[in-house]
Amino acid sequence: MYNNNILIGLYKKKKDKIKNIEYLNELEKLLKIFNGKVKKKILQRRFNPNNLTYIGKGLLKKISIYVNKNFIDTIIFDDELSFSQIKNIEKIINCIITDRTKLILDIFFYKAKSYYSKLQIKLAQYRYLLPRLKNMWMHLKKQKGGIGQRGPGEKEIETDKRLIKRSIFFLNKKLKKFKNQLIIQSKNRINIIKISLIGYTNVGKTTIINNLIDKNLLVDNNLFTTLDTNVNKFYIKKKKFIIIDTIGFIKKIPTQLIESFKSTILEIKNSNIILHIIDITSKFLIDKILFIINFLKKLNIINKIIIIVFNKIDKIKKFNINKIKNLFLKNKNIFINIKKKYIYYFYKKKKIKNKFILMSNKNKIYIKNLKKNIYNEYLKNFNKIN
Does position 206 bind ligand GTP by CB under 6 A? yes
Angle between helix 115-144 and helix 100-111 axes, rounded to 10 deg: 140
| Number of residues in contact with ligand GTP under rule CB under 6 A | 22
**The entry of Mg ion, ligand GTP, none that residue 311 binds, CB within 5 to 8 Å by partner kind:** ligand GTP
The 8 Å CB, 24+ separation contacts for 171-176 are 171/119, 171/122, 171/123, 171/126, 172/123, 174/119, 175/116, 175/119, 175/120, 175/123, 175/260, 175/262, 175/263
CA distance 135 to 319: 54
- Which residues between 303 and 362 bind ligand GTP (CB under 6 A)? 311-312, 314-315, 360-362
Q: CB-wise, 108 or 241, nearer to ligand GTP?
A: 108
Interface pick for Mg ion out of 88, 226, 263, 272 (rule CB under 5 A): 226
Does position 262 bind ligand GTP by CB under 6 A? no
Amino acid identity, position 304: K
Interface pick for ligand GTP out of 101, 125, 196, 225 (rule CB under 6 A): 225
Interface pick for ligand GTP out of 9, 36, 248, 254 (rule CB under 6 A): 248
Contact 185/192 with Cβ under 8 angstroms?
A: no
CA distance 374 to 240: 12
CA distance 51 to 60: 14
Interface pick for ligand GTP out of 24, 223, 336, 358 (rule CB under 6 A): 223
Q: CB-wise, 118 or 174, nearer to ligand GTP?
A: 118
Best CA proximity match to 168, nearest among 78, 94, 256: 256
**The entry of ligand GTP, Mg ion, none that residue 101 binds, CB within 5 to 8 Å by partner kind:** none
DSSP-derived pairing of the beta strands 193-199 and 239-245: parallel
DSSP-derived pairing of the beta strands 96-99 and 193-199: unpaired
Does position 288 bind ligand GTP by CB under 6 A? no
Does position 225 bind Mg ion by CB under 5 A? yes
Q: CB-wise, 53 or 229, nearer to ligand GTP?
A: 229
DSSP-derived pairing of the beta strands 230-236 and 193-199: unpaired
Q: CB-wise, 225 or 256, nearer to ligand GTP?
A: 225
Q: CB-wise, 246 or 256, nearer to ligand GTP?
A: 246
What residues make contact with ligand GTP under the rule CB under 6 A? Answer: 201-207, 219-221, 223-226, 248, 311-312, 314-315, 360-362
What residues make contact with Mg ion under the rule CB under 5 A? Answer: 206, 225-226
